[in-house]
Structure 1
Amino acid sequence: MRTVDLIGSAVSNTFRSKTRTILTILAIFVGAFTLTLTSGLGTGINAYIDDTVTSIGAADVMTVTKTQESATGVAADGPVEYDPDAIASGQPGPPGSTVVALTPADLDTLNGIEGVTDVVPTRSISPDYIQADDGTKYVIGVGSLIAGQTIQLEAGTEPDDSAADLQLVLPVSFVEPMGLGDAASAVGQTVSIAITDAERTQHVVDATVVGVAEEGLASPTGASLVPNTALSDELFDAQSMGVPADQVERYAQASVFFDPSATDDEISALKDRLADVGFTGSTVADQLGMFKTVIDGIVLVLNAFAIIALLAASFGIVNTLFMSVQERTREIGLMKAMGMGNGRVFSLFSIEAAFIGFLGSAIGVAIAMLAGSALSSVLSTSLLSNLPGLTLIAFDPASILVIIVVVMAIAFLAGTLPAARAARADPVDSLRYE
């Protein structure tokens, strides 16, 4: 029998006992359906995290601060003594959080460390308020972008650092309260930012809104505007009026750049070199690594339940094919008497098992994709509406193909026992079977 005929015969034989085969397919369907949904959940969440990474920074950038130490010289783990060199951290945390300021000398030290290709300090700017025309004044912060970092925009563009005019990206949550209409209408409008210098003189700087940032899990804006270089310089210069010259260049943190092709071991070695001279460095992977680990762990547990369901379904395949072998004993004897070898008989029943696995997995995958897409659509407009850009359950074609292949492989392995029994059948005894 030719291979094509063998496959055709296996497919046609699958539905000799329709009820038994359908029940087996349904058992496989449950496992494939669950596995597809849990895989889609992991794909969707991890894709959102990967998109969020671009909002936090590039993979070849490390955020560096000066290691805060206690009076004994040991890294602090509790109340920290007053340090005249400490400044506001500018990062989320308890009120009054401070870090030891980085000075130009520190920046020179960082530049001299092996593996560091560039150092860019992050300036801390604290405006009083933002206002549109004569409307209500709102408290706002000033964020900043490091190389490789992007803003998830709802309208407009990112600020142009090469432009001489003063530009900013405004958080979407400020648009309506400030009377700027919707996100699209806000682009191009002028807003006023007030900032007070060291002599308690308030300065008002006008800037143009060039973009509106959507809310996100790790948005660089949050409740902060993002200025271009010209606006940042203008605000910083205004804030620094009256500050002693030796106090102006003090930074909460700096962005340290390294080779994009650096391995994990090389990055770890760079962190050690930074620690040796009193600095602490963290990468994007450090900031999101734990979160991804938790998500992957949850998905792994859910996948384990799906695999258990598939293994349970494999016993149904064994039962279905054993019954098929029992019912077709005389047919098997006839095929072997006509010259069909043991290998062909084995292949016939193994292909039947794999085909049952294919049907169950294909149906399970198809329905899971429809259900997952519908569920994601509903959640994105209800419970998850505050996480724009998140598709909770997304499907990767490669993962879908792997699921189908894995289920077929499980079905094939489940079918090997009854297939082997059929292949070992003696043709004379089989033809005598009643």
Structure 2
Amino acid sequence: MKTLDLIASAISNTFRSKTRTILTILAILVGAFTLTLTNGLGTGINAYIDDTVTSVGASDVLTVTKTAEFATGVAADGPVEYNPDAVASAQAGPPGSTVVALTPADLDTLAAIDGVLDVQASKSISTDYIQVGDGTKYVTNVGALVAGQTIQLEAGATPDDDADGFEVVVPVSYVEPLGFDESVAAVGQTLSIVLTDATRTQHTVEGTIVGVAEEGLASPTGASIVPNDALTDELFTLQNTGVPADEVQRYAQASVFFDPQATDAEIAALKDRLADAGYTGSTVADQLGAFKTVIDGIVLVLNAFAVIALLAASFGIVNTLLMSVQERTREIGLMKAMGMGSGRVFSLFSLEAAFIGFLGSAIGAVVAIAAGTAISASLSDTLLSDLPGLNLIAFDPLSIVGVIVVIMVIAFLAGTLPALRAARADPVESLRYE
């Protein structure tokens, strides 16, 4: 019997006992459905995290601060000693936390550390309010982008740091309050930014709105506006009017750039060198690693339940094929008497098992894709509407193919016992079987 004839025979023999085969396929379907859906959940969430990583920071950047205890007013073991070099930092810890300020000397020290390609200080700017024309005044913060960061835009474009003009992106939540019907209408309009300097004098700077940022889990904007470098420099200069020259260049943190091709070991070594110099550095992976680990752990547990369901289904395959072997004893004897070798008989029943696994896994995967797509779309419009761009359950074609192949392998292994029994059958005894 040729290979194609063997496969065709295995497929046709699968449904000799339709009820038994269908029940076995349904058992496999449950496991395949669960496995596909949980994999889709992991794929969707991790894809969202990967898509927003650049909103948190570039992958080849360490956010660096001076190593010091939080100075929030009260420490776990008592009051924190006053440090005249401390500056406020929202990134350092709980609200009100401070870090020791980085100075130009610190920036030079960081630049001299082996493995550091560039150092950029983060300028902290505090505004009074923003306003369009004579409209309502709204309080906001000023965000900043590290090189390599991106903004998830609903309309317009990212501020051009090479432009001489003042450009700014506003969050979508400010569009209607500022007097615009939609995000597109805000692009190209003039935004007034007002801040107060050290002499208590207010300054107004006008910038052009070039984009509107979406809300997101890891958005650099949040409730902040994001100016280009020219506007940032102007605001920083005006804010420090009246501040002694030696007090102007004090920064809460800096961005340290390293080789994008650096290995984990090389990044760890760079962190150690920073620590030896009195600085603390963290990457995007450090900030999001714990979150991704939790998601992967949840998916792993859910996949374990799916595997249990598949193991239970494998017993169904064993039972189905053992009964098939018993019912076809005379047929097996006849095939062997006509010259079919034990290997061909084994292949015939193994192929039947693999085909049952294929049907159950393929149908389960299709049902999971349909259900997952519907659930994800529904959640995106309801519970997850505040996280634009999140497709909770996403399906990777390679992952789906992998699930189907794994289940077919499990089914094949489950079918080896009945297949061996059929292959070892004595043709004379089989022909006598009643």
Q: Which range, TM-score by smaller chain?
A: over 0.9
Structure 2 CA distance for aligned equivalents of residues 224 and 302 of structure 1: 38
Amino acid in structure 2 at the alignment position of 1:101: A
Structure 2 CA distance for aligned equivalents of residues 45 and 23 of structure 1: 34
Q: Cα 1:61–1:79, aligned 2, differ >3 Å: closer, same or farther?
A: farther
Structure 2 CA distance for aligned equivalents of residues 125 and 409 of structure 1: 60
SS state of the match for residue 207, structure 1?
A: strand
Query: Which deviates more from structure 2 when the two are superposed, residues 92-101 or residues 282-291?
Result: 92-101
Is 2:125 the partner of 1:125?
yes
SS state of the match for residue 305, structure 2?
A: helix
1:9 corresponds in structure 2 to: 9
Which portions of structure 1, spanning 4 or more consecutive aligned residues, are displaced by more than 6 angstroms?
75-78
1:280 corresponds in structure 2 to: 280
2:390 corresponds in structure 1 to: 390
Instruction: Provide, for residues 209-230 of structure 1, a one-character-per-residue CA deviation record: whole Å limited to 9, x for no partner.
Output: 0000000001000111000011
Amino acid in structure 1 at the alignment position of 2:282: S
1:136 corresponds in structure 2 to: 136
Tell me if the contact between 2:32 and 2:361 (Cα under 8 Å) persists in the aligned partners.
Answer: yes
Is 2:87 the partner of 1:87?
yes
Q: CA deviation at 1:135?
A: 1.3
2:262 corresponds in structure 1 to: 262
Instruction: Provide, for residues 222-246 of structure 1, a one-character-per-residue CA deviation record: whole Å limited to 9, x for no partner.
Output: 1110000111011011101001011
Q: How does 1:156-167 map to 2 (within 5 A)?
A: 156-167=156-167
Amino acid in structure 2 at the alignment position of 1:107: L
2:99 corresponds in structure 1 to: 99
Instruction: Provide, for residues 106-150 of structure 1, a one-character-per-residue CA deviation record: whole Å limited to 9, x for no partner.
Output: 000000101111101000000110111111111101111011110
SS state of the match for residue 116, structure 1?
A: coil
SS state of the match for residue 193, structure 1?
A: strand
Q: CA deviation at 1:91?
A: 3.0
Tell me if the contact between 1:55 and 1:218 (Cα under 8 Å) persists in the aligned partners.
Answer: yes
2:339 corresponds in structure 1 to: 339
Tell me if the contact between 1:167 and 1:227 (Cα under 8 Å) persists in the aligned partners.
Answer: yes
Q: CA deviation at 1:198?
A: 0.6
Q: Cα 1:34–1:164, aligned 2, differ >3 Å: closer, same or farther?
A: same
Q: Cα 1:324–1:70, aligned 2, differ >3 Å: closer, same or farther?
A: closer
Q: How does 1:76-225 map to 2 (within 5 A)?
A: 79-91=79-91, 93-225=93-225
Is 2:349 the partner of 1:349?
yes
TM-score, normalising length: structure 2: 0.97
Q: How does 1:223-302 map to 2 (within 5 A)?
A: 223-302=223-302
1:432 corresponds in structure 2 to: 432
Instruction: Provide, for residues 287-316 of structure 1, a one-character-per-residue CA deviation record: whole Å limited to 9, x for no partner.
Output: 000000000000000000000000000000
Structure 2 CA distance for aligned equivalents of residues 21 and 312 of structure 1: 15
Tell me if the contact between 2:90 and 2:96 (Cα under 8 Å) persists in the aligned partners.
Answer: no
1:313 corresponds in structure 2 to: 313
Instruction: Provide, for residues 234-270 of structure 1, a one-character-per-residue CA deviation record: whole Å limited to 9, x for no partner.
Output: 1011101001011111111000001111111111111
Q: Cα 1:70–1:241, aligned 2, differ >3 Å: closer, same or farther?
A: closer
Q: CA deviation at 1:82?
A: 1.3
SS state of the match for residue 270, structure 2?
A: helix
Tell me if the contact between 2:70 and 2:99 (Cα under 8 Å) persists in the aligned partners.
Answer: no
Amino acid in structure 1 at the alignment position of 2:87: I
SS state of the match for residue 419, structure 1?
A: helix
Structure 2 CA distance for aligned equivalents of residues 250 and 2 of structure 1: 81
1:403 corresponds in structure 2 to: 403
Query: Which deviates more from structure 2 when the two are superposed, residues 175-184 or residues 124-133?
Result: 175-184
Q: CA deviation at 1:95?
A: 3.1
Give the number of equivalent residue pairs.
431
Q: Cα 1:109–1:363, aligned 2, differ >3 Å: closer, same or farther?
A: same
Is 2:358 the partner of 1:358?
yes
SS state of the match for residue 431, structure 1?
A: helix
* Percentage of identical aligned residues: 78
Structure 2 CA distance for aligned equivalents of residues 70 and 152 of structure 1: 32
Tell me if the contact between 2:48 and 2:390 (Cα under 8 Å) persists in the aligned partners.
Answer: yes
Q: Give the gaps of 5 or more residues in structure 1.
A: none
Q: How does 1:13-28 map to 2 (within 5 A)?
A: 13-28=13-28
Q: Give the gaps of 5 or more residues in structure 2.
A: none
Q: CA deviation at 1:4?
A: 0.5
TM-score, normalising length: structure 1: 0.97
1:66 corresponds in structure 2 to: 66
Q: CA deviation at 1:180?
A: 2.2
RMSD of aligned C-alpha atoms? Answer: 1.4
